[in-house]
Structure 1
Amino acid sequence: MGLGSRGVIGDKWSSRILWFTAIGSAIGFYLVAVERQTQNREKMMAESMMNAGSSADGGE
């Protein structure tokens, strides 16, 4: 069995599948990064609110 010019999937389709996979992975990584950034922002806001509340309670 030698290597022919066409496999089970043609070169054109394998290239398309590769691009779709790469683009899908990039979109997935972007969405994960946005979600983590949102969670970090919410966590920082909650901590700053707690710190502001504790400093106000401690000052009086």
Structure 2
Amino acid sequence: MRTRGVISDKWSMRILWCCAIGSAVGFYMVAVERQTQNRNRMMAEAMREMESGADTGDEV
């Protein structure tokens, strides 16, 4: 009966490690996605500022 307990502990540890690694990968993917969105937002704001600056510069 003792070997069953050792085997189940072994498998539960493997499952725990798989969950931990999966969570880490998920957090990494969320961080990369947010970084990409922030970069795109900054680029869009810079383009808007350049366009608005060009419009006011032509009128003057």
TM class by shorter-chain length? 0.7 to 0.9
- In structure 2, the gaps of 5 or more residues are none
From 32, 35, 38, the equivalent of 1:34 is 32
Identity rate, percent: 64
> Which structure: greater helix fraction?
2
Moved segments of 4+, more than 3 Å: none
Q: TM-score, normalised by structure 2?
A: 0.84
- Quote the offset at 1:14 in angstroms: 0.5
Q: TM-score, normalised by structure 1?
A: 0.84
CA RMSD of aligned residues (A): 1.9
- In structure 1, the gaps of 5 or more residues are none
Q: How many residues align?
A: 56
